[in-house]
């Protein structure tokens, strides 16, 4: 009985560790600053974390399948610039949003095709598209930001639904959809199975190329949503928007326990990891520590988490 209980509990141990870390940080920071646990500050943490939640959920599917997407920062800029040009050309706001998301998904189609059908390494593919898309947005905007959008668009970034800002609501909806997709659908099952053994899946008659392309399209869609939220929040479409966001997303996914080799991952754990990173960033501001340390911490988190993951994997192989 005890053995069965331990086996059942084991997959959830890492999640419990993440939750313990999150609550411990909240307790420590609430003692340091009486402002930390106020409703406005909690809402601010969720608002800032919302972008990383949306991006990281798309990245979770990619890394689960054994891939990587370094182009998400550039796709953020692409979606915001495309929708901005559409609005400046007097397109309906809804149509402009669809165009921005379509451009982002188009980038996902390209990445998926290159990786799945041309068999180009995901790192090389997305590193290339990162530069191509960033260069394209700089060329079409001539390096200048685009200002001034209708209120119906900016509401997406700064409006409220009930007590919470729209980005928070969108992030929770994306999380819910991600949980269902990864845990309850064939798409999610194949995403994880591809990371374990893509060849075995292919031999069982699964069109892995199609599903892998869909995974990159999903990641592009999440990046597009984040890009629209950023431009709506700032009332500006910036061709340099999203720079460095890919590292933050990877950090959240890795911290959430997703294996960088693929085959294991959880949307719930990625969500908790995003909250941890959000609390860390908020804590740095409360402690008046320079935001320059944020990038340093991100790199350290990725390095330590990947090292621990590799150590556990080697230990598991030796035991087998």
What confidence tens digit (pLDDT) does each residue in 145-165 have?
999 899 999 999 988 888 889
At residue 146, the 3 state secondary structure works out as strand
Taking the C-alpha atoms of residue 238 and residue 133, their distance in angstroms, rounded to an integer, is 13
Q: Among 11, 27, 8, 14, which residue's Cα sits nearest to residue 273? A: 14
Cβ atoms 159, 149 nearer than 8 A: no
Q: Higher-confidence residue: 282 or 53?
A: 53
Q: How confident is the model at residue 47 (pLDDT cuts 50, 70, 90)?
A: very high
What does the domain layout of the chain look like in residue ranges? 50-243
Q: How confident is the model at residue 8 (pLDDT cuts 50, 70, 90)?
A: very low
pTM, to two decimals: 0.91
Q: How confident is the model at residue 259 (pLDDT cuts 50, 70, 90)?
A: confident
Beta strands 236-237 and 164-165: pairing type? Answer: unpaired
pLDDT at 100: 96
pLDDT at 294: 73
Cβ atoms 184, 62 nearer than 8 A: no
Beta bridge partners of 164: 161
b/e map 148-160, b = 16+ CB within 10 Å: ebeeebbebbbbe
Taking the C-alpha atoms of residue 254 and residue 276, their distance in angstroms, rounded to an integer, is 12
Q: How confident is the model at residue 264 (pLDDT cuts 50, 70, 90)?
A: confident
Tens digit of each residue's pLDDT (9 = 90 or more) over 50-67: 999 999 999 999 999 999
Residue by residue, what is the 3-state secondary structure of 16-48?
A: HHHHHHHHHHHHHHHHHCCCCCCHHHHHHHHHH
pLDDT at 181: 95
Q: Among 57, 18, 28, which residue's Cα sits nearest to residue 282? A: 28
Taking the C-alpha atoms of residue 257 and residue 250, their distance in angstroms, rounded to an integer, is 11
Average pLDDT of the residues in 24-39: 89
Terminal Cα distance for the chain, rounded: 24
Tokens of 222: 């999440």
CA angle, residues 295, 260, 219, in degrees to nearest 5: 75
pLDDT at residue 276 tops 50: yes
pLDDT at 103: 97
pLDDT at 122: 95
């Amino acid at each position: 009985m005890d053995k069965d209980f331990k086996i059942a509990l084991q997959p959830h141990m890492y999640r419990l560790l993440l939750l313990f870390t999150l609550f411990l940080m909240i307790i420590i920071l609430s003692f340091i600053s009486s402002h930390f646990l106020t409703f406005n500050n909690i809402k601010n943490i969720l608002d800032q974390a919302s972008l990383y939640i949306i991006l990281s959920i798309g990245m979770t599917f990619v890394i689960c399948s054994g891939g990587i997407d370094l182009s998400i920062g550039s796709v953020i800029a692409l979606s915001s610039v495309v929708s901005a040009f559409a609005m400046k050309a007097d397109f309906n706001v809804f149509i402009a949003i669809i165009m921005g998301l379509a451009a982002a998904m188009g980038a996902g189609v390209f990445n998926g095709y290159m990786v799945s059908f041309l068999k180009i390494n995901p790192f090389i593919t997305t590193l290339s598209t990162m530069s191509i898309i960033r260069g394209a947005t700089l060329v079409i905007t001539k390096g200048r930001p685009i200002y001034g959008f209708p209120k119906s668009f900016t509401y997406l970034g700064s409006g409220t639904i009930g007590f919470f800002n729209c980005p928070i609501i969108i992030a929770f909806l994306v999380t819910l959809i991600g949980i269902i997709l990864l845990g309850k659908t064939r798409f999610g099952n194949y995403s994880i199975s591809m990371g374990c053994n893509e060849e075995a899946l292919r031999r069982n008659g699964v069109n892995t190329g199609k599903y892998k392309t869909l995974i990159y399209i999903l990641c592009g869609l999440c990046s597009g949503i984040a890009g629209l939220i950023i431009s709506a929040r700032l009332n500006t479409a910036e061709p340099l928007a999203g720079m460095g966001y890919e590292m933050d997303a990877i950090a959240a996914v890795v911290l959430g326990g997703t294996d960088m080799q693929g085959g294991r991952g959880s949307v719930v754990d990625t969500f908790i990891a995003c909250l941890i990173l959000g609390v860390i960033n908020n804590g740095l501001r409360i402690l008046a520590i320079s935001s320059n340390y944020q990038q340093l911490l991100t790199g350290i988190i990725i390095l330590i988490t990947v090292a621990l993951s590799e150590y556990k994997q080697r230990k598991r192989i030796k035991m087998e």
